[in-house]
Amino acid sequence: MTGTVLLTGSLDRTGRWLAVHLAEQGWDVTCVGLSRSEWNLQGYQGLSFRTADLTEQVEASEVVSTENPDAVVHWTARPSPERHAGMRVFENNVISVYNVLTAAGRADARVAWASSESAYGFPLAGAPSLPEYLPLDENHPLRPEDPYGTSKVVGEEVGAMVARRHGVPVASLRASWIQFPGEYDCLDARADLATGAGNFWSYVDVRDVATAIEDAITADFSGHEPFLVGAQDNYLDVPIEDVLCEFFGELPENCDIAGTDSALSTAKAQSMLGWEPVYSWRDSEDEDVSLFA
């Protein structure tokens, strides 16, 4: 199944990979962003660009209604408050997801959007803590302590509202730390365990994110559903149970991971979307893969 997709976030690095992947799979992709001059995918077959400020409801609604896409992929958000004012992070993320998703619902478009593992609250928590169980799944409580993670929880509630009101399927993709072939920054974090403790040393390749998004806008499901998107393994080079004990002093009472296992369960995405991660740091850390390969 292919068709028309409206993609926000194509000015960001991950967004460019998503745009190219969808176009290569035969989708007609309209990219949306603030500045055409910053869009560097001109001339690529299957891609076009429209300018819009998605925090302005009229602009967001107009671009969605005019394009009338089969699917909307909302992959833009202001990142962590570590680099931006917390209130600005929360406001930008919540307003843009409300504007885009409600417009998508009115257009009867399928939706996939960038939630985050930060919704659980562990990555940006005031003090490191263990989850109730491992591996994490979509049923674990969401307890963010920061503007970014909280904006993702609110965004998921918006997604659920849009699904109920308009009857469109909405997938909230809780992606892990996104890595790029040949540039696996997560491996540098091994030297400081605290850097990756918030997501329990999990990651995901951008190419697996791209296939997860395509599967999310083509799979047969209804309503709003969150999906964890992560690699099958962790990025450590020692057994994860040893690192959990070293950093936290103990394991969760219910811990069903060991060795190279990921702390994030992707069973739901595999079952409902037919998606499965295929890339690992073991094969991808030294890859030389062009964006346009």
User: What pLDDT sits at residue 228?
Assistant: 98
pLDDT exceeds cutoff 70 at 264: yes
- Residue 224 in any domain: the answer is yes
- Residue 290 in any domain: the answer is no
pLDDT exceeds cutoff 80 at 83: no
Categorize the per-residue pLDDT at 1 as very low, low, confident or very high, splitting at 50, 70 and 90: confident
- pTM here is 0.95
Q: Which residues lie closer than 8 Å to 39 by C-beta, 6 or more apart?
A: 10, 11, 31, 33, 49
∠ CA 185-283-15, nearest 5°, is 50
Residue type, 278: V
- Residue 86 in any domain: the answer is yes
Other beta carbons less than 10 A from residue 93's beta carbon? 24
Q: Cβ distance 270 to 293 under 8 Å?
A: no
Report the mean per-residue pLDDT for the chain. Answer: 94
What is the percentage of the chain residues whose pLDDT exceeds 90? 84
Residue 254 lies in domain: 4-284
Which residues are paired to 114 by β-bridges?
Answer: 173
Q: Which residues lie closer than 8 Å to 37 by C-beta, 6 or more apart?
A: none
Average pLDDT of the segment spanning 256-274:
98
Q: What is the CATH number of the domain that holds 108?
A: 3.40.50.720
pLDDT exceeds cutoff 50 at 293: no
- Residue 269 in any domain: the answer is yes
pLDDT exceeds cutoff 50 at 220: yes
- Residue 293 in any domain: the answer is no
- Residue 110 in any domain: the answer is yes
pLDDT exceeds cutoff 90 at 286: no
Query: What tens digit of pLDDT does each residue of 88-120 get?
Result: 899 999 999 999 999 999 999 999 999 999 999
User: What is the tally of structural domains in the chain?
Assistant: 1
User: What pLDDT sits at residue 188?
Assistant: 94
- Residue 239 in any domain: the answer is yes
Q: What stretches of the chain adopt beta strand conformation (E)?
A: 4-8, 28-33, 47-51, 71-74, 110-114, 133-134, 170-175, 178-179, 204-205, 224-229, 254-255
DSSP 216-283: HTTS---SEEEEEE--SB-S-SS-HHHHHHHHHSS--SEE---TTB-SB--HHHHHHH-------HHH
10 Å CB burial of residue 57 (0-12, 13-18, 19+) is middle
- Residue 60 in any domain: the answer is yes
